[in-house]
Structure 1
Amino acid sequence: MSTSGLRRLAGMAVGWGLSLLPAAVLAQEPSRPAPGLDQKAAIAASQAAVGRTIGDHTLLDRENRPVRLSSYRGKPLLVSFIYTGCFQVCPTTTRSLDETVRALQGRFGDNQFNVISIGFNQPADSPQALKAFAAQHRINRPNWDFLSPPLPVVEQLTREFGFRYEATPAGFDHVLQVSLVDAQGRVVRQVYGDKVPADALGEPMKDLLVGIPLSPSTPLADLIDQVRLLCTVYDPETGTYRVDYGLALEAAGGLTFIVALALYMLNEWRTRRRARRKPQPA
């Protein structure tokens, strides 16, 4: 292959490669180690909460009314922790949980369990802020409350649920978990991730409703390998959360080169074919 051909191929690969990548990827610098939670320690603390009875804390609902956690006993309870200043992951997980709650209500009925989302970033996660958050994401289910704990209660409450979080310059890095609490107020299962599949909660919910003891959850080591837990991949250079596109970039780069090479070879073949067909002077 000629030098000029290689230059053309490189130019084609770069041009096509850039056009195939999302703008968010192009704007990123090479990834750097991100501050945040220790994943193994976060999962271990979360799993250690399984079997623990939650204390009878008093929080405020969206209308600034006091609500005791003991008032939810008698039915299974789903508990998530959020902060209203999050504009990416917390809204995504809340909407995913809403879809799951809809599916669970279709299976078990509207009044068989309750849901609460707790704003842990105090005093910013006030009753008014949580009310606006719920309205923005169209969460208006009779069995779903958004609760604001007093600042002195936050540390004990999050510790009891095994919920770990850490402040960053742009918000919080925190565990993505939904806790399943039984009718006696005990944490019986932790479900992780930014998507909350209905089947992950449906089977244990069914067992709770009919009084069957829950089977052991996934071993801790398997959870560490299988689940992306943290709210963020925080980029301190940009002050934003981002997705780690490293593997996708490598795959896209290889695919781009193969496509560029194939197109270059096709173009060369067409050029030579036209040259052979061109009439020769007499």
Structure 2
Amino acid sequence: MNRIATSLALLLTAAALSACGNGGEPMRPPLAGAAIGGPFALTDQQGRAVRDSDFAGKYRIVYFGYTMCPDVCPVDVQNIAAGLRAFEAANPERGARVAPIFITVDPERDTPEVLAEFTSAFHPRLVGLTGSQEAIAEVAQEYAIWHEKQQSPGNDAYLVNHSRQAYLMGPQGDPIALLHADESPEAVAEGLDRWVQ
């Protein structure tokens, strides 16, 4: 939990600093050096084993959520997908270097089949990842994502509260910046244009 709290504090500081320019010189990525990200072994929406190393050489948009989320997740993923499509249209070569990744925080319900239906509704290249509760807990911790199941006693239905970040990771898996998926597709496209080389 300390790692998550520390990483979240760094994220807030980085977001504030990223708004500051430095006289026209190239800006240092706001999350450069942050302890965010790490190795994982999960399962994609086709039931295939996927490792972080499978994305080597690609920029990655990494977002954690769940398919039964009643509010923010579908809006954020829609903004990510639409922003990526706009970026791809304006910059086909750079756009092809971006891998959008959705990692569930609800592996109990988000099977590969469920993820396949969800991801296909947003972007043809969106990768949906699931795994065991333990594997999801590990990757969430690596990415400083807090999540907690909320269920009333005697009720089968539940929600999953979780932190809400869209990370842009570099070709070597290094954290670069937060994308403003909570704002608009245009904000996502602007972030991609700024940082994707």
TM-score range normalised by the length of the shorter chain = 0.7 to 0.9
Q: Is contact 2:43–2:112 with CA below 8 Å preserved after alignment? A: yes
Structure-2 change in CA distance of 1:204 and 1:141 (3 Å): closer
Aligned to 1:147: 129
Counterpart among 36, 50, 57 of residue 74 in structure 1: 57
CA distance in 2, matches of 1:160, 1:194: 22
Structure-2 change in CA distance of 1:200 and 1:88 (3 Å): closer
Name the SS of the counterpart of 2:161 in structure 1. strand
Q: Is contact 1:58–1:67 with CA below 8 Å preserved after alignment? A: yes
Identity across the alignment (%): 22
Structure-2 change in CA distance of 1:180 and 1:196 (3 Å): farther
User: How far did 1:207 drift?
Assistant: 3.4
Aligned to 1:160: 142
Name the SS of the counterpart of 1:114 in structure 2. strand
Aligned to 1:184: 172
User: How far did 1:173 drift?
Assistant: 2.0
Paired letter, 1:146? G
Structure-2 change in CA distance of 1:88 and 1:53 (3 Å): closer
1:55 aligns with 2:55: no
Which structure's CA Rg is the greater one? 1
Q: Residues 26-65 of structure 1, C-alpha deviation per residue, up to 9 Å, x if partnerless?
A: xxxxxxxxxxxxxx88842755994336322111111101
- Residue ranges of structure 1 left out of the alignment (5+ in a row): 1-39, 210-282
Q: Is contact 1:42–1:175 with CA below 8 Å preserved after alignment? A: no
Q: Residues 209-233 of structure 1, C-alpha deviation per residue, up to 9 Å, x if partnerless?
A: 1xxxxxxxxxxxxxxxxxxxxxxxx
Q: Residues 48-87 of structure 1, C-alpha deviation per residue, up to 9 Å, x if partnerless?
A: 9943363221111111011111111212110111112213
Q: Is contact 2:64–2:105 with CA below 8 Å preserved after alignment? A: yes
Q: Is contact 1:59–1:147 with CA below 8 Å preserved after alignment? A: yes
Q: Is contact 2:81–2:185 with CA below 8 Å preserved after alignment? A: no
Name the SS of the counterpart of 2:84 in structure 1. helix
Counterpart among 101, 112, 117 of residue 102 in structure 2: 117
Name the SS of the counterpart of 1:55 in structure 2. coil
Higher strand share: 2
Q: Is contact 1:97–1:195 with CA below 8 Å preserved after alignment? A: no
Aligned length in residues: 167
Structure-2 change in CA distance of 1:207 and 1:87 (3 Å): closer
Higher mean alpha-carbon deviation, 107-116 vs 41-50, is at: 41-50
Structure-2 change in CA distance of 1:203 and 1:179 (3 Å): closer
Counterpart among 125, 148, 162 of residue 174 in structure 1: 162
Structure-2 change in CA distance of 1:168 and 1:42 (3 Å): farther
Higher mean alpha-carbon deviation, 163-172 vs 45-54, is at: 45-54
Higher helix share: 1
Aligned to 2:79: 96
CA distance in 1, matches of 2:42, 2:83: 25
Aligned to 1:214: none
User: How far did 1:156 drift?
Assistant: 1.8
CA distance in 1, matches of 2:122, 2:110: 16
CA distance in 2, matches of 1:154, 1:45: 22
- Residue ranges of structure 2 left out of the alignment (5+ in a row): 15-30, 152-157
RMSD value, Cα: 2.7
Where do 4+ consecutive residues of structure 1 move more than 6 Å?
Answer: none
